[in-house]
Chain A
Amino acid sequence: EPEVTQTPSHQVTQMGQEVILRCVPISNHLYFYWYRQILGQKVEFLVSFYNNEISEKSEIFDDQFSVERPDGSNFTLKIRSTKLEDSAMYFCASRRPGAYEQYFGPGTRLTVT
């Protein structure tokens, strides 16, 4: 069964550095999402993306964040200048057109020191 994949599984970075988190959605899915989960807390929506555009974004998704679909398979989240409070698990999810279900990737644990 196809699954969403994410790389890397764990990223350690210093405060102020840029990071790029990568996701490969399920192949026939056209709606893409990033969520994050701070340790021990609930999953929070960051941004959704469809047809090469951001559809929705949350208050968390400020100017330091950007998303891109650089080719036909990858979907990336960039954090320009990381802060300590960006430390979290970042999940990518995808959904096919007309369906309700969102399927999550295994996550990237981002640690900002």
Chain B
Amino acid sequence: GENVEQHPSTLSVQEGDSAVIKCTYSDSASNYFPWYKQELGKRPQLIIDIRSNVGEKKDQRIAVTLNKTAKHFSLHITETQPEDSAVYFCAASRGTGTASKLTFGTGTRLQVTL
């Protein structure tokens, strides 16, 4: 089955700096890669996603890149703010059919310091 690895496990950046979180996946049939932000005690919140037919997607300060050949995808946060502090999870799935479970990475705790 799918295995998603995520690095780093913790990341501390100064406010205004950029943060990059990287994930790899194993199942070549995976074609959907969402990123979730989870604040302490809260639900995972979808912040951005990418499908396998594109290589990059951007939404304001957040961008995601995908390298299908290498089975890598990354989350980039620019101009970080204290409210970006949270745990970020990457995930992979096979898409929209009945085989659509999300397989999550182990999470990255991002701390944005003043």
Contacts and interface: CB of A to CB of B under 8 A. Distances in A.
Contacts of A42: 89, 104-107
Interface residues of A, number: 27
Interface stretch (A13-21, A43-51, A74-82): A43-51
B46 interface: yes
A105 B43 contact: yes
B99 interface: yes
A58 B102 CA distance: 11
A95 B34 contact: no
A52 interface: no
B103 A45 contact: yes
Interface residues of B, number: 25
B96 interface: yes
A2 B95 CA distance: 22
Contact of B101 (A48, A97, A107): A48
Nearest to B91: A43
A94 B78 CA distance: 30
